[in-house]
Chain A
Amino acid sequence: MSFYLECKKMKRTGLVPAFFCGGLLAAAVPVLNMAFRSEMYLGLDAPPIQILMEANWQMMSMLNILLVTAGACLMYHTEYADNAIQRICTLPAKESRLFLGKSAFLFLMCAVILAVEAAGMAFCIFHWFGHFGGLWSVFKSFGYAFLLMLPAVFGSLWIASACRNLWVSLGISVVCIFTATLLPVKNFALSLFFFAMPFQILADTPPQAARRFMIAAVAELLVIAAGELIFLKLRRSFT
């Protein structure tokens, strides 16, 4: 029910169209890149998905993370703007369920934008590489990308729930995203920062390392969720 209510609350905020447009914009990146610079990539000796992801994923994942962050900050802004969160707190509804409901909504939005981007990639593979068997590799890559994006969703929502003012949560998130862009992608420990994980590419990663990243993503989800619950309890105790 929390998920249904969170979907209702997003009416007339423009969030869903914004996510869809963001997904289309990110999907256009590999298409435009191939349209203008296909000669750079067609001659390379690697699977098409690896070539395309290495060439485009940094920019695509940057757009995705910015979208998720803006969405998370805005979702909590609608709660704080007219003090609706106070009303919710006086109902038999836990703030933690609010967090989980919003997470579920953002998970869905991430799935939508990644599906659109996957379609863009599949089109590039089909059109330029003439590769009819590339769909499974696209599916695996984007499934991996989805799992690794989930900690960033939780992390953005945690930051947004902690700050009443939209510019503070957005500012902190933007600083964290910048920090993530500075971390070396190949360093496992540093890449575990939840804003850095979405930059990982499955095609570029040895299977064992990919498994470790996936386990780490699930572990981070649990840690961040626990952190949020503790934070909400502490905040309630100190007000």
Chain B
Amino acid sequence: MNFFSLIRIEAKKLRRSKILWILAAAAFLLWLPSVLNSHLNFEMQAEGISPEHNFLIQGLLGMSWFLFPAGMVVSTVLLNLTEETNHGILKMLALPVRPARLCLAKFVILAVLAAIQILISVGMYFAGGAIASYTQDYPLLLPPLFVLREAGLIYLAAIPMLSIFWLLSVCIRTPIFSIGVGLASIVPSVLIINTKAWFVYPCSYPLFVITAEYGKLAANLNTAPVELVPWLPAAAGITLLCLFISCLCFGRGR
């Protein structure tokens, strides 16, 4: 069986799980306050950012700080429990499939869910932005390519974070600890992005990247720029290490 077939099988296991509804609800609630408070975008003269840029950035900040990472913790719970309930994992491990491949396939599904959450959020941005533009009589929507670029940056920056969450869910068998550590790791991001060692804390990557973009778009705001070195080597190293350990430990407890 080739790897892509395995990914398709893993994707099928998510049928009727209602995860897409949860991600959609999250995206809806992300942009609803932005639409209701759209008048505040015209009071950002001190920061020197245009209303349309502010409308996008504020939503992306909320998403990258909490909603997106928390959504991914929930997704790891889904991926694990789908196997644990009714002992599906025992069946999988008893089939001629290497556990490491199964682990990687599940990680790919997690990455796909992350992409879906971001795409749904982008869709809701356009819907919410259209409504806010109408109510404020001002074009608050930015070009799709620009929006997709920003969303793409969040997604790429989040891959090391996904690998950490996946490692936690594979290695920590006690659900409260894997969920608790995952959710708790989100909270300090807002402090850590203000330190020089932010690059060693993958959960802060999406927030750091969007904060840096905020700094670029706001003329009077100084934020730390993204320095590819040492960030990229650290990110790549952490991702590879986490995936390697996950593949080693997957299914071991059985």
Decide if A and B are genuine partners: yes
Instruction: List A173-187 residues whose CB lies under 8 Å from chain B.
Output: 174-175, 177-179, 181-182
Among the 9-residue stretches B1-9, B183-191, B216-224, the one with 4 or more Cβ atoms under 8 Å from chain A is B183-191
A67-B180, A175-B22 known; A166+B175 contact, CB < 8 A: yes
A126 to B18, alpha carbons, bound, how many Å? 50
Q: Determine the distance from Cα of A182 to Cα of B85 in the docked complex, in whole angstroms.
A: 35
Chain A residues lying within 8 Å of B188, measured Cβ to Cβ, are 59
Residues of chain B having any CB pair with chain A under 8 Å: 17-19, 22, 25-26, 29-30, 33, 62, 66-67, 70-71, 73-75, 77-78, 81, 85, 174-177, 179-180, 183-184, 187-188, 190-191
Asked if A182 meets B62 with Cβ closer than 8 Å, knowing A14-B176, A18-B177, A62-B187, the reply is yes
Q: List 28 A-B contacts (CB under 8 A).
A: A13-B174, A18-B176, A21-B180, A22-B180, A22-B184, A59-B187, A63-B187, A66-B180, A66-B183, A66-B187, A70-B176, A70-B179, A70-B183, A71-B176, A77-B175, A81-B85, A165-B17, A166-B77, A166-B81, A167-B22, A167-B74, A167-B75, A174-B70, A174-B183, A178-B26, A178-B66, A179-B29, A181-B66
Chain B residue nearest to A75 (CB atoms) is B176
List residues of A whose CB falls within 8 A of some B CB: 13-15, 18, 21-22, 25, 59, 62-63, 66-67, 70-71, 73-74, 77, 81, 165-168, 170-172, 174-175, 177-179, 181-182
Question: Which residues of the partner chain A approach B174 to less than 8 Å between Cβ atoms?
Answer: 13-14, 18
Min Cβ gap B225→A in Å is: 23
A18 contacts which of B17, B74, B180 (Cβ < 8 Å)?
B180
Smallest CB-CB A-B distances: 5 pairs: A171-B22, A167-B78, A14-B174, A174-B70, A66-B183
- Which of B33, B77, B176 interacts with A15 by CB under 8 Å? B176
**Is B29 a contact partner of A175 (Cβ separation < 8 A)?**
yes
Counting chain B CB atoms within 10 Å of each CB, the highest count among A13, A70, A73, A74 belongs to: A70
Which residues on B sit within 8 Å (CB–CB) of A25? 184
- Tell whether, in the assembled complex, residue A165 and residue B81 are in contact, meaning their CB atoms are under 8 Å apart: yes
Q: Is the CB of B19 within 8 A of A171?
A: yes
Contact indicator B30/A178 (Cβ below 8 Å): yes
Question: Which residue of B is nearest A14, CB measured?
Answer: B174
- Chain B residue at smallest Cβ distance from A69: B183
Q: Which residues of B contact A15 (CB under 8 A)?
A: 176
Is the Cβ of A167 less than 8 Å from the Cβ of B176? no
Chain B proximity of A166: nearest CB distance (Å): 6
Verify A74–B74 contact, CB threshold 8 A: no
In the complex, chain A residues whose CB is within 8 Å of the CB of B187? 59, 62-63, 66
The interface centre, meaning the residue of A171, A172, A182 with most chain B CB atoms within 10 A of its CB, is A171
Nearest neighbor of A168 in chain B, beta-carbon distance:
B18
Contacts of A175 in B (CB 8 A): 22, 25-26, 29, 67
Residues in A whose Cβ lies below 8 Å from that of B176: 13-15, 18, 70-71, 74
Residues in A with CB closer than 8 Å to B74 are: 167, 170-171, 174
CB distance from B27 to the nearest CB of A (A): 10
A177 to B186 CA separation, bound complex (whole angstroms): 13
How near does chain A come to B147, taking the closest CB pair, in angstroms? 21
A91 to chain B, nearest CB (A): 24
Minimum C-beta distance from B184 to chain A (A)? 6
What is the distance, in angstroms, from A167's C-beta to the closest C-beta of chain B? 4
Could you say which residues of chain B place their CB within 8 Å of the CB of A70? Answer: 176, 179-180, 183
